[in-house]
Amino acid sequence: MFSFGLVCIYTMLRKIIFRIDSEGLSRADEERLAIKRLLSHFGNGPGLVGLIDHLDDSVAAWRDLILDVIPEFTTTNPRKPFSMRVEVDEEFRDIVTKMTSLDPARRITAREALKHPWFQDS
Tally of domains in the chain: 1
Residue 43 has pLDDT above 70, yes or no: yes
Question: Is residue 31, in this structure, part of any structural domain at all?
Answer: yes
The secondary element (H helix, E strand) that includes residue 45 is helix 45-54
pTM: 0.88
64 in a domain, yes or no? yes
Express as a percent the part of the chain with pLDDT over 70. Answer: 98
Distances (CA, A) of 41 to 16, 24, 89, 100, 122: 12, 24, 16, 9, 24
Q: Is residue 88 part of a domain?
A: yes
Residue 108: give the domain boundaries: 2-17+27-121
Q: Does residue 22 belong to any structural domain of this protein?
A: no
- Interatomic CA distance for residues 16 and 94, integer angstroms: 18
CA atoms of 81 and 106, how far apart (whole Å): 17
